[in-house]
Amino acid sequence: MNQRRQRSRLAPRFRSAPILTALLIGLSAAFGSARTGSTPAGPDDPAAERSTASDSSATGALYVATSGDDSNPGTSEKPWRTIGHAAAIAGPGDIVHVSPGVYRENVLITRSGTAEQPVRFVSDQKWGAQIIGVTYDPTVRISAGHIVFANFAVSNPGGPSGIEVTGAGGSASYDRVIGNEVYDVAGPCKLGRCAPGHYSGGGGIILSNTTDNLDHDDDAIGNVIHDIGDPRNPQNADLVHGIYIELGGDVDYPRQGRYSARVENNVIFRVEGDGITSWHCATHAVIVNNTVVDAGVHGILLSASEECGANAVHRLPNRQSVVANNIVYHCGWHAQCSLSAVAHLRCLRPSFGGGCGIVVSNAEDATVSHNLLGDNLCRSDAGAGLAILTTADSHNTVADNLTDADPGFVKYNPDGSGDFHLRSGSPAVAAGAAKYGVTRDIDGRTRPEHRAPSIGAYEYPIASLPRAASARSTASKRRATVPIAASAANG
């Protein structure tokens, strides 16, 4: 189809070194403030804030290190060897401290915390504890409630997904996935597990359900997600995503839950499918202040595909979701399979040519506002990277979006990586809306620092502060160049 560009009138629009605790306080504080409009309130418990060794509210501190042994008592002097062993023992109020090192295992978390005493799993050095999956399963599966999982580096070169939150009967609710790097997730087709007619999904972070759609109030906040699937050789493009939301459709809002998922302050780049997607029985999602770059299909998809359970409260469509203050840049350019994949029958979607910046379909009473879209290939008649594919009576609010705009990143590389902080003069600076309750950015910087918050995961500072050092781990194939605060990396 012909690509149509539409330029909005852009008014003149006028980076971070907090310690780890301050970063997590900021992410938690984003939920404690009052909200206006129809946006559901976030979690009030300061779970992430208390993820430190000095947390006096904890029942116990448990320790894991590569030098440990699972026959040890799990103390700081005699730590356990595997995170999975700690997960089988930790209970409400416990903090599992994981020392830097490489942990080759698949972690299953099935023991829940409580609202007052969540179970916390924390990499003591940001991204220092690297979990690499070894079986064809999610590297980390959280099938319990009131879990905090923070600051790990998670990869799955031999499996479908990085971190998956999933449960039955609402058992995996009030979970928080915070500050992790999720990278090098193969997805099924890259591993040769797909064939025409066999569709298998995957993703970096998956917020889903198993036998019903009763999980709710799950958060993915401040994560860096990249190299998911096979972005440059897509075979199953519309099923392998950065963050995958498919939960909450059987929940009675607001009596049982405030929202299904809150996806906030994430940086997502080089993804085979959508950067952030909502599908199946998805509803009541809050997707705010994310930066999505170089997703092969859609930057953000807000939709639903099927009815929920027999006693569903909410059926199609996706209802009362919010997509606001997000940057979506250079998406939709890799939605079609390569010619070699088609020729060798490795393309599951030979006729699939969809792609756009933000797409809204099968949605009702949605809010899509204050997003910035630029250089997205939109294979529809919508143009400008924003496609609203719903009927006129869907009562969706679409307003104040900046379309066909250069976000003004500090650096963008042709391979889709870069430094996605905002430079001076970016149209995203002070162009967002404050009513969505985001009071910190991914670096822990206060929002807003201007008359209004910046769009995307990074707030632009009032003062020109020294740039934060780039923190990297030693995992192979990691090419992320997104800087994080040096002091945060050091814990």
- pLDDT per residue over 355-384, tens digit each? 788 988 888 899 999 999 998 887 654 445
User: Could you tell me the residue range of the domain that residue 54 belongs to?
Assistant: 20-489
Separation between Cα atoms, residue 486 and residue 362, nearest integer Å: 43
- Going across the sheet that includes 276-278, the strands are 107-109, 140-142, 161-165, 202-208, 240-246, 276-278, 298-302, 356-361, 386-389
State the CB neighbour count (10 A cutoff) for residue 393: 7
pLDDT at 297 (0 to 100):
85
State the CB neighbour count (10 A cutoff) for residue 297: 32
8 A C-beta contact, residue 248 and residue 283: yes
Decide: residue 224, CB within 10 A, 0-12 exposed, 13-18 middle, 19+ buried: buried
Query: pLDDT tens digits for the chain (491 residues)?
Result: 332 222 222 222 223 333 334 434 343 333 333 222 333 333 333 334 333 334 434 569 999 999 999 999 999 999 999 999 999 999 999 999 999 999 999 999 999 999 999 999 999 999 999 999 999 899 999 999 999 999 999 999 988 899 999 998 889 999 999 999 999 998 877 766 665 544 567 899 999 886 678 899 999 999 999 999 887 766 655 678 999 998 887 788 888 889 999 999 999 999 988 999 998 888 899 999 999 999 988 899 998 876 665 555 555 688 899 999 999 999 887 766 555 554 544 455 554 556 788 988 888 899 999 999 998 887 654 445 777 776 656 788 999 999 889 999 999 998 889 999 999 999 999 999 999 999 999 999 999 988 899 999 999 997 743 344 333 333 333 444 444 332 232 23
Secondary structure letter of residue 394 according to DSSP: G
8 A C-beta contact, residue 156 and residue 200: no
The position carrying tokens 């979506």 is 328
Cis peptide before 254 (omega within 30 of 0): yes
HSE-CB of 385 using CA atoms within 13 angstroms: 31
In a domain, 8, yes or no: no
Q: Which H or E element spans position 363?
A: strand 363-364
Separation between Cα atoms, residue 155 and residue 270, nearest integer Å: 14
Look at the chain and report how many structural domains it folds into. 1
Residue at 395: amino acid letter: H
pLDDT at 392 (0 to 100):
58
pLDDT at 326 (0 to 100):
97
Q: What backbone torsions phi and psi does residue 43 show, to the nearest 5 degrees?
A: -65, 145
In a domain, 5, yes or no: no
Which residues, listed in sequence order, are joined to residue 122 by a DSSP beta bridge? 97, 150
pLDDT at 191 (0 to 100):
66
Q: Which CATH number goes with the domain that contains 93?
A: 2.160.20
In a domain, 403, yes or no: yes
What's the pLDDT tens digit per position in 12-30?
222 333 333 443 434 333 3
pLDDT at 157 (0 to 100):
93
Separation between Cα atoms, residue 428 and residue 417, nearest integer Å: 19
Residue at 156: amino acid letter: N
8 A C-beta contact, residue 256 and residue 247: no
CA distances from 301 to 116, 165, 239, 318, 486 (A): 34, 20, 12, 11, 34
- For every residue of 457-487, DSSP letters joined together read SSPPPSS-PPPPPPP----TT--------HH
In a domain, 4, yes or no: no
Question: pTM for this structure?
Answer: 0.83
In sequence order, the 6+-apart residues with CB closer than 8 A to the CB of 485 are 16, 17, 18, 23, 443, 444, 468, 469, 471
Separation between Cα atoms, residue 283 and residue 362, nearest integer Å: 10
Among candidate residues 451, 462, 452, the one with its CA nearest the CA of residue 432: 452
In a domain, 123, yes or no: yes
| Angular region, 170: left φ>0, alpha ψ -120 to 50, beta rest | left
Separation between Cα atoms, residue 243 and residue 266, nearest integer Å: 9
In a domain, 291, yes or no: yes
In a domain, 14, yes or no: no
Separation between Cα atoms, residue 94 and residue 91, nearest integer Å: 6
In a domain, 9, yes or no: no
Q: What backbone torsions phi and psi does residue 294 show, to the nearest 5 degrees?
A: 60, 45
Among candidate residues 465, 467, 441, 466, the one with its CA nearest the CA of residue 455: 441
pLDDT at 355 (0 to 100):
72
8 A C-beta contact, residue 421 and residue 455: no
Among candidate residues 292, 245, 286, 290, the one with its CA nearest the CA of residue 266: 290
Q: What backbone torsions phi and psi does residue 205 show, to the nearest 5 degrees?
A: -125, 125
